[in-house]
Copies of this chain bind each other. A is one copy, B any other.
Amino acid sequence: MNSKDVEKILKLVKSGEVDIASAASRISTHLDFSDVKPDTSRKERLGFDEVIYGRSKSIEQIENIALKYIENELNFVCTGLDSGKMDALLREFPHFQANRQAGILRHIISAAPRKEGKVAVITAGTSDIKVASEAAEILDICGIDADIHADIGVAGIHRFFSVREQISDAKVIIVIAGMEGALPSITGGMFPHPVIAVPTSTGYGAALEGFTALFSMLASCANGITVVNIDNGFGAAMAAVRIINALQEN
């Protein structure tokens, strides 16, 4: 940690964005910024900023990244935060906004313009709502409206039919399901929309921590369904963002 790094922290202390105790701790433990390389041109290239995936990073690493982002005046969005990390980060950055159900922390400097065309986010069970919240939160950050229709899985298929019209109003459908992952097949067979399927780790034993749902969705008999990683509500939202953005250009 060179003197320039120390200076940066002191400036953040002065502006109130970092409190004194944590700045002292940071300086004395020689944590610095040198390993963080924000992809500053991503918004220009792709239409959205880089988002931090918090689960595999230590609190210190996320703090360093947040400081770098503040310094570069980039929007900071971090996903995959459990309660412990969320609390620790909010102590350091009390003015950040938290969505605890979604596990997302955000600090938006320049908000995205609102887009035309909303996204329907549907889930098979109540256990899948956390993933739906992550998707909806990311869509909101990107300027896109989302409607969540939860708990309409195939064991009581009449519940699905009861919201058929509302789903049809959206431009893109995100379908979230665990266990046998059958809901995307029904959805893809009934609607002409782009369908993005998200398997979840709901279930046990033969549910294979989400892999059964993942493979079911990939092997679906319904045509043209696309799939993202297990529990990856963020990825599904970003895929929808790419499509909604393409619609804006027209």
Contact = CB atoms under 8 A, between A and B. Distances in A.
Kindly state the interface size class of chain A when it binds its partner.
35 or more
Contacts of A59: none
Given A124-B221, A127-B57, A193 B246 contact: yes
Query: In the complex this chain forms, how many copies of it are found?
Result: 8
Given A57-B126, A155-B39, A216-B216, A242 B224 contact: yes
B227 A39 contact: no
A65 B221 contact: no
B154 A186 contact: yes
Given A212-B215, A219-B229, A45 B182 contact: no
Contact of A202 (B56, B181, B217, B250): B56
Given A180-B185, A182-B221, 16 more contacts: A36-B126, A55-B204, A56-B178, A125-B221, A155-B188, A171-B246, A180-B180, A195-B242, A196-B226, A204-B229, A206-B218, A212-B219, A223-B235, A224-B241, A247-B247, A250-B250
